[in-house]
Amino acid sequence: MDRALLPSMLAQGEGVIIHVSSIQRALPLPESTTAYAAAKGALTTYSKSLAREVTPKGVRVLSVAPGWIETEASVEFAQRVAAEGGTDYEGGKKIVMDWLGGIPVGRPATPGEVADLIAFLASPRSGSITGSEVRIDGGTVPTL
């Protein structure tokens, strides 16, 4: 997508590229997501490098790193975990949150919350934000 869209952004002297990474780049789950975490780590590094290259030409580049988002797929996953654990959906969510080391806000984020963050980052109101990764994980990753 960058190869297709970046040239026109550079030609007009403005634009915003937002890559969606994951907190798993900083908090991988070795038993299931090592390759995914590595790919997201590479995407975050690429985003930072691209930002340094194209921001002086008017194009901002950012990365958004969601934690657990309550999508249809994650609901199904929590339901499977719940069934295996002999509990209900809320119990399944708690098991998943415990696997992640906890989510201090006490729940996964919603797709709408992620969309709102991305809309803000794409807007002129965030015009001085570039080269950054913004986590939306309810406090899951315990470091800055």
Q: How far apart are CA 22 and CA 65, in angstroms?
A: 4
Q: How far apart are CA 124 and CA 58, in angstroms?
A: 12
Choosing from 2, 33, 36, 74, the catalytic residue is: 36
Give yes or no: 36 in active site.
Answer: yes
What are the C-alpha distances in Å from 112 to residues 10, 66, 100, 134?
A: 30, 12, 21, 16
Q: How far apart are CA 35 and CA 103, in angstroms?
A: 23
Comparing CA positions, the residue from 9, 15, 8, 6 lying closest to residue 130 is 15
Active site residues: 36
